[in-house]
Amino acid sequence: MRVGLITPRPDHPLLAATAALLTPRHRVDWIDPADATGPRIPDTPADVYLLKARTAPALALARALEERGAPVVNSSSATALCQDRTLMAELAVSAGLPFVGNRTVAKLQHLATEPELCYPLVVKSRHSRRGDLVARIDDAGRLHDLCGQWADEPVVVQPYTANDGWDRKLWVIGRQVFAALRRSELAGDPSAGRETVSLPLHELPEEWLEMARGIGPLFELEVYGVDLIDAGGNTPRIVDVNAFPGVRGQAGAPEALTALVLRTAEEQGGG
C-alpha cells in the first residue's frame, strides 16, 4: 500500500511516528505543497493521503487528488470549512452544539465605530491561519491599538465567557479521543505561557466525549480537534474546531492514525 503525506513537515512528531509504523510493510511518500516548482501529482495516486496542511496550495493539491479518485484525510472541503470561523460556527449552532456566541464583522475598524460595545470581548480573524488575530479586548483603548495593525481584517466577535483560564483540548482520530489541558492564550497573564497538561478521559464528562465524537460526522472530519472551555459547573462552550491538529505527546495517537489509514485504504479498495 502507498500512503502520501501532504505536508511541509514530514518530521512532525505524529506524522513521523505514524510513518515509522507503516514503513515496515507499506510505502510512505511526502509531497510538500509549498514546493516553489509546484507539487507534481503522481501518475498513479497513492491509496490514501493525509492532509496535514491548510494553505491554499495544499487544498488545491488535495482537491486535484480527490478528483483523481484518491481518498484524502481530511478532505479538502472539510479542511477549508474549518478555516472559515463564520461557517464553522453556523454549522455548529445549526446542529445544536454549545458553540460560543459569534458574529462576523467585515473589518476590525468597523467594530471600533460601534457604540456601546460590551467589554470584555474576543476577536478572531474570520479566516484561520498561522499568525492570525486572536485577542481579548477589555476596553476601547485595546481595540484602538489592534486597529493599528489589523484595521482591514475580517473578524468574528464573541462575548468573553468567564472560565478557569484553561482550554480543554479534545483530539479525535477516527472515534478515539485524546485530551489535554492547555493554558488559554486569552487568560490574561502572558507570563503564564501556554502550558499543556495531560488530561485523563475519566476526568471529563462522558457527554463531552460523545459530543466531540459527533462533531466528526457533522463536519465530515476524521482527524480533528475540539477546543472547549468550562463556563462553570461542567457547562461546555466550544470555541474552535481544527482539522488535523498536532495531537502532540499523546500515547496511542500514532497507532490510532495508522489504523485509520489502513482502514480508509481498505474501504476504498486499496492496500
pLDDT in tens, 178-201: 999 998 888 765 555 567 888 999
CB 51 within 8 A of CB 73: yes
CA gap 137, 139 in Å, rounded: 6
| Cell numbers that stand for 202 in this block | 475519566
Cell matching residue 49: 493521503
Q: Are 85 and 125 in contact (CB under 8 A)?
A: yes
Check residues 37 and 223 and name the one with the higher pLDDT.
223
Alpha carbon of 200 to those of 88, 204, 230: distances in Å?
A: 27, 8, 16
Q: Which of 38-42, 159-163, 220-224 has the lowest mean pLDDT?
A: 38-42
The grid cell for 173 is: 482520530
**Domains present along the chain, CATH in parentheses:** 2-74+252-267 (3.40.50), 81-99+162-243 (3.30.470.20), 103-159 (3.30.1490)
Beta bridge pairs of residue 204: none
pTM flag (> 0.85): yes
User: What are the distances in angstroms from CA 84 to CA 10, 87, 170?
Assistant: 26, 6, 20
Cα–Cα distances (Å) from 35 to 6, 28, 30, 38, in that order, read 11, 18, 11, 5
Q: Is-contact 16 247, C-beta < 8 A?
A: no
The amino acid at residue 7 is: T
Tell me how far apart the alpha carbons of residues 197 and 12 are, in angstroms, rounded to a whole number.
20
Residue ranges of alpha helices (H) inside the chain are 13-22, 56-67, 76-83, 85-94, 108-111, 140-150, 206-219, 253-267
Q: Model confidence over 84-132: pLDDT tens digits?
A: 999 999 999 999 999 999 999 999 999 999 998 999 999 999 999 989 9
Position 195 scores a pLDDT of 72
Average pLDDT, the chain: 92
The confidence score (pLDDT) of residue 197 equals 87
pLDDT digits (tens, 9 = 90+) for 31-76: 998 875 666 677 789 999 999 999 999 999 999 999 999 999 999 9
Instruction: Using DSSP, state whether 178 is helix, strand or coil.
Output: strand
- For residue 93, count other CB atoms closer than 10 A to its CB: 15
